[in-house]
Structure 1
Amino acid sequence: MWNAQQSSLLTSSSCNVRLDHYAAPEVTFSHSWISSADYVAAVHFHSNVKKSELFMSSLPSRVLQEGDSPPNIADLSAEENHALSIFKHMNFLNKIMGKDDVT
């Protein structure tokens, strides 16, 4: 299952040309989501559908727009705002550690 997950994330890089059609917050989130797989892999997380559902249930329920700034997105739940804040912090850490594909 993990190999399939990694393959799907690698394939998603072929969709980068479509990112131009999305607002900056959504593009940043998409990079964060892909990057989060590296963290999951580093801890050798044993995934299955039930465990994955726990992580995915707090993802934003809509495409992010210009002006969306977690944790203060009014039409998203506290849980969704919290998840987006975590991704924001992960991006910050990636930048200071020199990971170059983070927006």
Structure 2
Amino acid sequence: MTTKEAVTMAQQYTATVQAEALSPTLSTALSLRPVHGASYRVTVEEIEESDEEKLAKLRAAIQKGRDEIAAGRVIDGETAFAELAAKHFPHRMK
């Protein structure tokens, strides 16, 4: 891909590319067939997850926690906090 110009914005990148460098996915997304030798400006930006995707990830994380509990891979809260304190604040331990 030949980049003639690039503008970096918040999670966005714009480049000018030759028709030959366009991926098949981008080429089919154009309303007209790309002309050989022509230049095209392509902008790529990160999109946020949909609510459905976020919910699916949350449900998967909850299920993972339930599986851990069912398998007995748990410790009580006091023990967990004591281990964290010993690891991250050893100078405070008496």
TM over 0.5: no
TM-score by length of 2: 0.25
TM-score of the pair, normalised by structure 1: 0.23
Higher share in strand: 2
Which structure features the higher share of helix residues?
Answer: 1
